[in-house]
Amino acid sequence: MTTNALAYAELRRMLEQRTAIVLSEEKEYFIDLRMGPLLSRYKVDNLAELLPTLRKDRRAADEAMDAMTINETSFFRDAKPFDVLREVIVPTVFALRGDRPLRVWSAASSTGQEAYSVAMTLLEHPIVRRQGWTYEIVGTDVASSVVERAKAGIYNGAEVRRGLPGALLTRYFEPHDGGTWRAGAQLRAGVRFQVGNLIQDRPPVTDLDLVLLRNVLIYFSEDMRRRVLESVHRAMAPHGVLMLGAGETPDYAADLFERIRLGDMWVYQPRSRR
């Protein structure tokens, strides 16, 4: 193998060890694209020259791993999960939790749009309003840069135009610098974000009523997917609902979760622990 091929292989190995993301060999163009800014910042010409720094400097390694994650997301992404939340889960499933705040985990929350979309769905819901339900929504992601963005809750025009209805934009966001919008106090209350690695850290909350684990397991090997789902299973309330990304089917965890049709989509409920 050439020095460069070895360097790509080492970066892929680092990424898999740290995040579970498996990148295939033909993804070298993707590595070049994502690592370009870091090469300039560390004033080196290629990945092989950067690797010694990544091996000894934890911060540089974190930055590299951040740069390699795919953070694609949007408000109300795929629409259906939020329709099902509003029309089915709030009126039926959530009533089963007893007298405590609702607990929701946006796992792999990226820049926060998913968690804020859940919050807006709850804030707008007549049952939630009438009964004064409170909630705790926690977003976690392995990439600290996106967690910081989620905490700030500041989105540019293109981001708010992707999926966020105008009425919700004006109700829950305030105009901010340079044409951006910032999530207002009401929306931010009850939503928090922290760095969390699905393959190393425990879920941030237990007895969860709803877990959104969308568009992240697709990057993992089947062993790692299984490991993550075992940990999610342990953290869910018996009546809790797990939502995966459109088209993600966890056949490899059929003993842990029952596949259930709610409204227009398949969701997963934990089978009872023995």
Ligand X SMILES: C[S@@+](CC[C@H](N)C(=O)[O-])C[C@H]1O[C@@H](n2cnc3c(N)ncnc32)[C@H](O)[C@@H]1O
Question: Closest approach of Cβ 42 to ligand X, in Å?
Answer: 21
Q: Does residue number 235 form part of the binding site for ligand X (CB under 6 A)?
A: no
Contacting ligand X within 27-46 (CB under 6 A): none
Position 54 contacts ligand X (CB under 6 A) = no
Between the alpha carbon of residue 209 and those of residues 103, 135, 193, 197, 241, the distances in Å are 5, 10, 18, 20, 6
Minimum distance of ligand X from residue 47's CB (angstroms): 20
Which lies closer to ligand X via its Cβ, residue 89 or residue 126?
89
The length of the chain is: 274
Q: What pairing do the DSSP bridges indicate for beta strands 236-244 and 208-213?
A: parallel
Angle at 262 between CA 261 and CA 268, to 5 degrees: 65
From candidates 51, 215, 256, 268, binder to ligand X by CB under 6 A: 215
232 binds ligand X (CB under 6 A): no
CB of 252 to ligand X, least distance (A): 17
Under the criterion CB under 6 A, does residue 121 sit at the interface with ligand X? no
Residue closer to ligand X (CB basis): 4 or 148: 148
- Beta-carbon contacts of 168 under 8 Å, excluding residues fewer than 6 positions away, are 120, 124
Of 248, 242, 198, nearest to 224 by C-alpha is: 198
Which residues 126-145 are close enough to bind ligand X by CB under 6 A?
141-143
267 binds ligand X (CB under 6 A): no
Q: Does 72 bind ligand X (CB under 6 A)?
A: yes
Taking CB under 6 A as the criterion, the residue among 214, 233, 262, 269 binding ligand X is 214
117 is a contact residue toward ligand X (CB under 6 A): no
Angle 10-14-15 (CA atoms, 0-180°, nearest 5)?
115
3-state class of 268 per DSSP? strand
Q: Is 118 in the site for ligand X (CB under 6 A)?
A: no
Closest CB to ligand X among residues 69, 269: 69
Tell me if 21 contacts ligand X by CB under 6 A: yes
- The overall longest dimension of the chain from CA atoms, in Å, is 66
Which residue, 118, 110, 135, is CA-closest to 196? 110
Q: What strands lie across the sheet with 135-141, from one edge to the other?
A: 191-195, 135-141, 102-107, 208-213, 236-244, 265-270, 257-262
Q: Report the interface residues with ligand X, using CB under 6 A.
A: 19-21, 69-73, 77, 108, 110, 114, 141-143, 146, 197-199, 214-216, 245
